[in-house]
Amino acid sequence: MKQIHLIAPSGASLDPLSPLAGIEWLKQQGLEVLNTDCVKRVEQRFAGSDADRLTEINQLANLLPEIAVVAMRGGYGLHRLLPNIEWDAIAKAIQNGLQICGHSDFTAFQLGILAKTGAITLAGPMLNFDFACQGEQGKGVTPNAFMWDHFQEAIKERKLDCTISAPQPYLRKLSTGQCSGILWGGNLTVLSGLVGTPYFPNSQQTQGGILFIEDVNEHPYRIERMLMQLLDAGILSNQGAILLGGFSAYRLYENDRGYALESAIEAISKRLPENIPVLTGLPFGHQVEKLTLPVGAQAHIQYDAEGFTIHSQW
């Protein structure tokens, strides 16, 4: 990996310093950063007009295969573009070697191209937060080493290997086990908003799969409501395993009276078939420490009450 091509398919940057800091840090790692002007675009809350952002996405089909594509940030905006994305052309570029990475709102693109073509993309770091970490008063902070190591492993070796040591309270009668299947998922809000559309992978594609989810700024009852939707739609019970990443930046209220995220997960777990493990602690989401996960690739997990391992090669 010698070049990173930036895209800004969703929200405009919330401040002018983050993308510049991210670009500078990537250059310090010896990388050439392409298409940097995209970080300056602003159209209402979006990183440019719909036409600008759509053109930028469709031009991915013309990139050299050795280039890694990284989204600037999430927010909202990709859902507007889905009907006019040239899925087959971009999938062909991916088949030839192009790798495309992002998370949050980028889930819409990742699930769309998986549903339409089966192409593999990377759920992982983005420019503004992950490569432009800032502390108090905007002071630069070195990007997380765990994130950077796993991003490079994914880009250079097309491999995922990680052991997660964390107690697993939702195994129910399962004490240990393993599962192999397609790794898929992303941001829960975006994912649930695609159910019933042509941009959501079908049950044949995801049967026995390993579904990973995360979210930010969503109260646990909203998390539960979206999971109930996936449960009642038959999506959760179609999986081999469910991996929960970070659910961050929400706050509980006095009238919750003890209701918390654990309550929501427990309610879902009780309604699932007992042979489907719900595993927690996946380092992924709106957090500094995150894996780079191959959306659409075959993966294997082994788990017990003390944690789990996840492996994929694509």
Q: Dump pLDDT digits (tens) for 147-172.
A: 999 999 999 999 999 999 999 999 98
Q: What are phi and psi of 139, to 5 degrees?
A: -70, 135
Query: How wide is the angle at C-alpha 26 spanned by C-alphas 40 and 12, nearest 5°?
Result: 25
Domains and CATH numbers, the chain: 3-143 (3.40.50.10740), 159-313 (3.50.30.60)
Which pLDDT does position 1 carry in this prediction?
80
Q: Which of 5, 10, 13, 214 is catalytic?
A: 214
Q: Which amino acid is located at 20 in the chain?
A: L
User: What pLDDT band is residue 72 in, cutting at 50, 70 and 90?
Assistant: very high
Residues of the chain with pLDDT > 90: what percent?
Answer: 95
Which pLDDT does position 135 carry in this prediction?
55
Q: Which of 18, 104, 269, 312 is catalytic?
A: 104
Catalytic residue flag (residue 104): yes
Catalytic residue flag (residue 79): no
Average confidence score pLDDT of the chain: 96
Catalytic residue flag (residue 165): no
- pLDDT of 137 higher than 70: no
User: What pLDDT band is residue 174 in, cutting at 50, 70 and 90?
Assistant: confident
**Residue with more model confidence, 170 or 1:** 170
- pLDDT of 225 higher than 80: yes
Q: Which of 5, 103, 150, 286 is catalytic?
A: 286
- pLDDT of 120 higher than 70: yes
User: Could you give the CA distance from residue 180 to residue 140 in angstroms, rounded to a whole number?
Assistant: 40
Which pLDDT does position 129 carry in this prediction?
92
Residue-wise pLDDT for 126-136, tens only, equals 999 999 875 55
Which pLDDT does position 136 carry in this prediction?
53
Tell which residue, 166, 217, 151, 150, has the closest CA to residue 188. Answer: 217
Provide mean pLDDT across the span 162-184: 95
Residue-wise pLDDT for 15-46, tens only, equals 999 999 999 999 999 999 999 999 999 999 99
Which residues have CB under 8 Å from 46's CB, separation 6+? 10, 11, 12, 53, 75, 76, 77
Tell which residue, 55, 53, 87, has the closest CA to residue 71. Answer: 53
- pLDDT of 227 higher than 80: yes
Which pLDDT does position 232 carry in this prediction?
98
- pLDDT of 61 higher than 80: yes
- pLDDT of 140 higher than 70: no
